[in-house]
Amino acid sequence: MNILFKNISKQYKGKYALKNFSSSLDNGVYGLLGANGAGKTTLINIFVGILKSDMGSIVVDGMDTREMGLDFLSHIGYMPQYPRFYKNFTVYDFLLYISTLKSIPSVLAEKRIKELLDIVNLRDAAHKKIGALSGGMRQRVGIAQAMLNDPDILILDEPTAGLDPQERIRFRNLITKFSGNRVVLLATHIVSDVEFIANQVILLKEGQLIKQDAPEVLMQEIEGKVWLVSANDKILNEKAPHLKISNMYRENQCIQLRVIDDHKPAENAVCVSPNLEDVFLYYNSEGEQW
Ligand SMILES: Nc1ncnc2c1ncn2[C@@H]1O[C@H](COP(=O)(O)OP(=O)(O)OP(=O)(O)O)[C@@H](O)[C@H]1O
């Protein structure tokens, strides 16, 4: 499967939410990373047809999605950033209802729902009302409903919001297993969600694509630009206010700064291997100022 985004633009009141976004996606997991307001949801909403772009087109396996009509929808599974549920429905009934909307035959739907309840670890909650679930459990119902039709293209907008660490790991493993011969597009600003599972990271900044590559390539590109600095008073007072700091922690009497800089930021700075969070900050932020 191949998805081509061709020059997608969208403006709100004269301001670009998405500007000339072009990208090609083959099977695999894609992490759509960007700061708040970068345009992730706008792109996804255009992709799933909730929003019309001002310009551009999306081509799936050589066909314009606008020409595919409802057939396109049968290929996708989608979980919105803020899924809405019928709180009086039980988990099982809600999934059955969504199956009906997706025209999944009932015998097949029942089997699939049972599988998915196991996958998202909600079997014991199957007959609980959605209104009585925790936020993280509801989130898992959202993930399950997106996967009901066994989609070729799975689009998840901030899927791990509210999940505890164990469920996050479970989610990542689930996506890896699921993604074999499909496209999974996962929008987030939580870097660790995609660091270990994304085949490619798509970095969005202010509506524009700034990088698309494998995480290890992106990390390699900023090799030599991430430093650990043991901060004495002089560094803290004079230098730190001007540094892009991705992390700081106290070690004994000293504060250790993780600094992103094209040049060695201090005499005692030691160059360290970049991680994806450094990449995100390198392109996206001014860093935490001291
Ligand atoms: N309905 C709207 N009306 C006006 N501006 C909008 C609307 N929807 C989005 N925007 C603007 O478009 C830009 C991109 O928003 P979008 O929601 O796509 O970003 P995002 O990357 O998903 O952010 P977040 O991580 O906070 O969800 C932002 O500047 C936002 O304020």
Local confidence pLDDT in tens for the 290 residues of the chain: 999 999 999 999 999 999 999 999 999 999 999 988 999 999 999 999 999 999 999 999 999 999 998 889 889 999 998 888 888 999 999 999 999 998 899 999 999 999 999 988 899 999 999 999 988 899 899 999 999 999 999 999 988 888 888 888 888 888 888 888 899 999 988 888 888 889 999 999 999 999 999 999 999 999 999 999 998 777 778 877 888 888 888 887 788 999 999 999 988 899 999 999 999 999 986 544 44
**Residue 148 has what DSSP assignment?**
T
Cβ of 44 less than 6 Å from ligand 1: no
pLDDT of residue 286: 58
Q: Name the residue at shortest CA distance from atom 8 of ligand 1.
A: 42
Predicted-assembly ipTM surpassing the 0.95 threshold: yes
Q: 206-221 burial by CB neighbour count: b if 16+ within 10 A, else e?
A: bbbbebbbebeebbee
Beta-strand pair 244-251/254-260: antiparallel
Q: Where are the beta strands (DSSP E) in the chain?
A: 3-12, 15-25, 28-34, 55-60, 63-64, 76-79, 153-157, 183-188, 200-205, 208-213, 226-231, 244-251, 254-260, 270-271
Q: Name the residue at shortest CA distance from atom 25 of ligand 1.
A: 36
Q: Name the residue at shortest CA distance from atom 2 of ligand 1.
A: 12
d(CA 156, CA 186): 5
Distance from the CA of 91 to the center of ligand 1, in angstroms? 30
Distance from the CA of 232 to the center of ligand 1, in angstroms? 41
Q: Name the residue at shortest CA distance from atom 18 of ligand 1.
A: 39
d(CA 273, CA 209): 25
Among 112, 214, 118, 131, residue whose Cα is nearest residue 170: 118
**Domains of the chain listed by start with CATH number:** 3-213 (3.40.50.300), 220-284 (no CATH)
d(CA 143, CA 155): 10
- Residue 234: count other Cβ atoms within 10 Å of its Cβ: 10
Among 109, 99, 110, residue whose Cα is nearest residue 77: 99
pLDDT of residue 108: 93
Among 109, 39, 50, 56, residue whose Cα is nearest residue 76: 50
pLDDT of residue 240: 78
Note the pTM of the prediction, 2 decimals.
Answer: 0.91
- Residue 199: count other Cβ atoms within 10 Å of its Cβ: 18
Cβ of 189 less than 6 Å from ligand 1: yes
Q: Name the residue at shortest CA distance from atom 12 of ligand 1.
A: 17
Distance from the CA of 36 to the center of ligand 1, in angstroms? 8
Cβ of 37 less than 6 Å from ligand 1: yes
Q: Is 34 exposed, middle or buried (0-12, 13-18, 19+ CB in 10 A)?
A: buried
d(CA 260, CA 222): 9
The neighbouring-strand residues paired with 11 are 16
Q: How far is CA 148 from CA 58, 70, 100, 143, 201, in A?
A: 24, 17, 10, 9, 26
d(CA 240, CA 67): 55
Cβ of 131 less than 6 Å from ligand 1: no
pLDDT of residue 290: 46
Cβ of 40 less than 6 Å from ligand 1: yes
Report whether 211 contacts 205 (CB < 8 A): no
Q: Name the residue at shortest CA distance from atom 4 of ligand 1.
A: 12
Among 280, 284, 211, 276, residue whose Cα is nearest residue 23: 211
